[in-house]
Amino acid sequence: MKLKQLEGLLGDLEQFSNPKVELEQYPTGPHIASRMLFTAENSYGDITDKVVADFGCGCGTLSAAAALLDAASVIGFDIDPQSLETATLNAEELEVEIDFVQCDITKLELKGQIVNTVVMNPPFGTRKKGADMEFLSAAMKVASDAVYSLHKTSTREHIKRAALRDFNAKSAEVLCELRYDLPKLYKFHKRKEVDIAVDLWRFEPRQN
């Protein structure tokens, strides 16, 4: 599948109808989602024929992208039942098979070595401090091959240090810097739209 085609398909997905600020629910836009998964597959072969988990999947944009790139199995995890309902509808609309599990990522323990790749757009930890790190820590325990994640560029050094020192990463690499468009979703947003710099990371776990 071509990048533009993937981006087009993701652009038709339903997003949060009633976003919950405490969960930092921001939609992952089709531009970022398509580039993230396309890079994971085309540069590293981490998606096609792999088992892919999407942590904090929300409405399932990254899950859908993984399924469209022929992951062997995709599992989306989220705490919020309304998001999972929308994610299920999105999967049906695209005619892809995705499993969804309702759970708290930070308390999740998955057995075995089944998941190859974790992809995620975690909360940035602006509402609940440290939420981004809790997601990264959980992802590094589950993935056997690689973790792809988005984090604010302003936290780059902190992420790198934590990944290598605390989360047992063999490597932690920023693949590219992206602009994340945040539409005005919440009352506390003063401007109509803001655009923040985020890094697309790839982490390799040492061994799980």
Stretch that binds another protein, among 100-108, 153-161, 172-180, 184-192 (CB under 8 A): 100-108
Site string for another protein, 8-47 (x = CB under 8 A): ----------------------------------------
Q: Compute CA distances 20 → 62, 103, 131, 187, 188, whole Å.
A: 19, 16, 15, 12, 13
CA angle (105, 9, 61) in 5-degree steps = 10
- The dihedral formed by the CA atoms of 195, 105, 43 and 115, expressed in degrees to the nearest 10: -170
Site membership for another protein, residue 107 (CB under 8 A) = yes
Query: Which of the ranges 16-24, 106-114, 127-135, 164-172 carries the binding residues for another protein, by CB under 8 A?
Result: 106-114
Q: Is 16 exposed, middle or buried (0-12, 13-18, 19+ CB in 10 A)?
A: middle
Per CB under 8 A, the list member of 33, 59, 75, 133 interacting with another protein is: 75
Toward another protein, which CB reaches closer, 146 or 198?
146
Per DSSP, 80 falls in state -
Q: Of 113, 126, 171, 208, which one interacts with another protein (CB under 8 A)?
A: 113
Chain residues 79-98 in contact with another protein, contact rule CB under 8 A: 79, 81, 84-85, 88, 97
